[in-house]
Amino acid sequence: MALITTLQCSCGREWLIYVPKKLLYKEIFRGGGVELGKLMDEQKERRGEIALAQEGAELRGVKFRDISISEIIQCDDCGRVFDMLRIIDLDIKYPGVLDYQEVKVAQYEA
């Protein structure tokens, strides 16, 4: 299951953020687990979970970002900059900072 979270800027703009396991594991295990995370990410990609998440973002009218491409997100409206790796790091120390949702292919098949 792909991990998706939302990010909302103080100005109201919203993003749907895909957090690849390779990044998450790198943060959690301080560099270890990246290979395992990579394999899991590839599996999700093949199952179409990332494409589904992207479609979900379009339906909600929010932008989709894959933070393995760039972990820095800058708001187009107000210029505020978010460093997603710092936010993930905070979430590891103080769980609940990020509101993760899982993309399950099955739930869209019904």
Q: Which residues contribute to the site for Zn ion (CB under 5 A)?
A: 9, 11, 13, 75, 77-78, 80
Pick between residue 43 and residue 70 the one whose CB is nearest to Zn ion: 70
Q: Which of 55, 28, 24 is nearest to 41 (CA)?
A: 24
b vs e for 56-73, b when ≥16 Cβ sit within 10 Å of the residue's Cβ? bbeeeebbbbbbbeebeb
In angstroms, give the least distance from the CB of 79 to Zn ion: 7
Pick between residue 21 and residue 65 the one whose CB is nearest to Zn ion: 65
Amino acid at 60: R
In angstroms, give the least distance from the CB of 42 to Zn ion: 33
Inter-residue contact 54 to 91 (CB < 8 Å):
no
Pick between residue 60 and residue 104 the one whose CB is nearest to Zn ion: 60
Q: Which of 49, 48, 73 is nearest to 63 (CA)?
A: 73
In angstroms, give the least distance from the CB of 76 to Zn ion: 8
Pick between residue 28 and residue 75 the one whose CB is nearest to Zn ion: 75
In angstroms, give the least distance from the CB of 7 to Zn ion: 10
